[in-house]
Structure 1
Amino acid sequence: MVRYENNNRLSLKRLFMVDVTGIGEKNGDNYGPYMIDWETFETCKGPKKDNCGQFEVTNVQNMSDIIFLLDFHKDCPTTMGKIVVSTRSKNVTKRLWNYVLNRPCEHFVLGPILISSFNLTKECKIYKGKYEIHLDLEAKTKVFLGENFFYGNYTFLITSYNKVNNFFCYKTNMAVKKIA
């Protein structure tokens, strides 16, 4: 019985190694300090049928000052979020990880953005109104990924919602490149 457990652990370890090698083994040629080339940035439809209001993104050519324009026609608690990261290579997209946020206002990246942009408390409820939010997405991406990451092409799908409504949804394609 002990042998089975050890073999099972070894199999899980091999499975994890195979998954990681899908983006490459960690070495100086494919991992390290990086710069980001943003290819596309667009709004998308979230998982819920209705939205809290209108959501628009402007100034996408300057990723250090993206402007989010929000017009909520009702109060909107934000209770869930999801970040899906996929790799893109040779016209094949492969999901790398699915990051579920049960408390978006407490998340290390999204929380400070929500709290400062909407003057929120821990209940994470955004009140009816119009909002203009300036965001340095490049800096926030570095906080999320860290100072070193695997080089390659990625798609990020980021959504925030509650039981009934979508708060926001956006999708971005980017290339993480080695700093020359």
Structure 2
Amino acid sequence: MPRIFTAVVPPDEAVEHLDSFLEPRRAAAPFRWTRPEHLHLTLAFMPEAADHRVDAYVDRLADVLDGLAPADLSLAGAVVFPNVAEGRVLATGVTGGVDALATASVRARNAAVACGIEVDGQRFRPHVTVARTGGRPTELTSWVRLLETYEGPPWSLASVQVIASHLGEGPGRSPRYETLAEIVL
């Protein structure tokens, strides 16, 4: 059964802006940096989804997202998981239409459950992962200070994608992402 997630994928301009900001800084840390084409904002994560349930999920998702309030978003600031002293994930935050994103997340998760797909129960916190520390807790104060200075260009929430993640099938044993559906809002 594939791992799937529902996500907002920032437009090329936003990805290129963030990538340009991070590029000269990547050599300063031995993190596993997220490839630009993998940058996304997860609304719902489903660790196992039977193939026969995914089509029903996509249909239900399109229905429940119909009429979602328009939102302008920007990537900005810093987010660290689980905390700055023992960071494992470094991310940029999202500003702007956070309420619309939260609504979309609840609807995406509820649609999955209604289709018999188990959803990861973590609290929704809008972010775009830019790097992982490789599993070891790392003090990330300097990286938080750096990302706190970042503010990307605004863009409109225009679509949501349902993506399959094939672990270890991408370059350097990274995941390979396959877009299963795009729902235009």
Q: TM above 0.5, one fold? A: no
- Structure with more strand by fraction: 1
Bucket of the pairwise TM-score, normalised by the shorter protein: under 0.3
Which TM-score applies when normalising by structure 2?
Answer: 0.25
- Structure with more helix by fraction: 2
Which TM-score applies when normalising by structure 1?
Answer: 0.26
